[in-house]
Amino acid sequence: MNCDLVPIFAYSKKWVFKENYQPTTVYQGMPVNIELTHRRQAIDYIYKLQEILSKYGQLIPNVNVLISAVYLQRFYYVHSFYSVDAKQLAAASLFLACKTNDPCVPIGKLARAYWELNFPNTPGLPTSKLDDVTQIIVELEKALLLTLGFDIHVDLPHPVVLKMFMELSWTNVKDLKRLSYQFATDVICQTDLILRYTKEEIAVACIFSISSWMNFKIPVNEWWKQFVPMLEEDVLIVFSTHNDKRALFNQTHSLLGGCYVSSEVIADDEKTSESNSDTDDLTSSAQAPPLSPSDGGFVSASSDDDDGIVVKKPRL
């Protein structure tokens, strides 16, 4: 297993990278927007695994899903989408996240969930394939740990958002707090900004952008200075001067360069069918172009076994 790219900590020990550092797949020639689409799709696989596991009676907390999403984001900064199957890594990331934050997921249930995700039209995971599937998950978990440098701690921006509201002591902020909290999830799942900015910067940007959208009058100028002293107003002012609420999220070109708010966040505030259709256009994730073995050794299951399915081991 080739882990030559693992010493990423030469660039950042906190997994916060400057703009001149790009993910490996981008260096290999994939356009940035397409690479981001693959990231979104891979994180969507984690949510689908959570849904499938719930059918098996295994409830996965949302915080575990977010932790696994951050693991996945970090892994694909170092490794290529061409060489590691996103569904396999989604399962491995969730497996590791549920070890670091209870409850643990039995490997057998996760293997069944992965099989259903990968082969939805098959009757279920054959006993003959159980060992192969579990080995894939375990091997990728090891590769994930090596890539992370065994740094499995994740600082999510959500607690920071809540802490900021407590310290700010603003009144009538129930909706602002709720939407800012939800927007932090969108930042993790729809962008790679969790690799670009600290949890404090992301929390400030979430509150600022949502308050601008809601036309909430903040009583204190430059309130964010007590949390991020070096953050200047001109980095955030673009939000308050933009009149289009939806474009506010679509044109976050400063601190949150290109965030997308989830459809349920806007739809929760605006119930009209027109607004729903607009947000669907804004937030719908296009299907990522297919990756094939000829694109660089992309590993997935193929059909050349007696029962039509063979599970191949990942190549890193």
Query: Which CATH number does the domain housing residue 33 bear?
Result: 1.10.472.10
Residue 289 lies in a domain: no
Domain limits at 260? 158-283
β-partners of residue 302 are 310
| Nearest-angstrom CA–CA distance, 229 and 221 | 13
One domain for residues 185 and 226? yes
Residues 6+ apart with CB under 8 A from 33: none
Which pLDDT score, from 0 to 100, does residue 224 have?
A: 78
Sign, CA torsion 125/131/132/133: positive
9 is written with which tokens?
């900590």
Per residue in 14-23, pLDDT (tens digit) is 788 876 788 9
Residue 312 lies in a domain: no
Which pLDDT score, from 0 to 100, does residue 289 have?
A: 63
Per residue in 291-312, pLDDT (tens digit) is 643 343 333 333 344 444 444 4
User: Please, are residues 228 and 260 in contact by the beta-carbon 8 Å criterion?
Assistant: no
Residue 288 lies in a domain: no
Q: Read off φ and ψ for residue 97, nearest 5 degrees.
A: -60, -35
β-partners of residue 310 are 302
One domain for residues 177 and 234? yes
One domain for residues 223 and 248? yes
18 is written with which tokens?
């400057």
Output the CA torsion 80→299→191→22 (10° steps): 10
Per residue in 225-252, pLDDT (tens digit) is 878 877 666 555 543 343 344 443 444 4
Whether residue 86 has pLDDT greater than 70? yes
Q: Point out the least confidently predicted range of 51-55, 59-63, 288-292.
A: 288-292
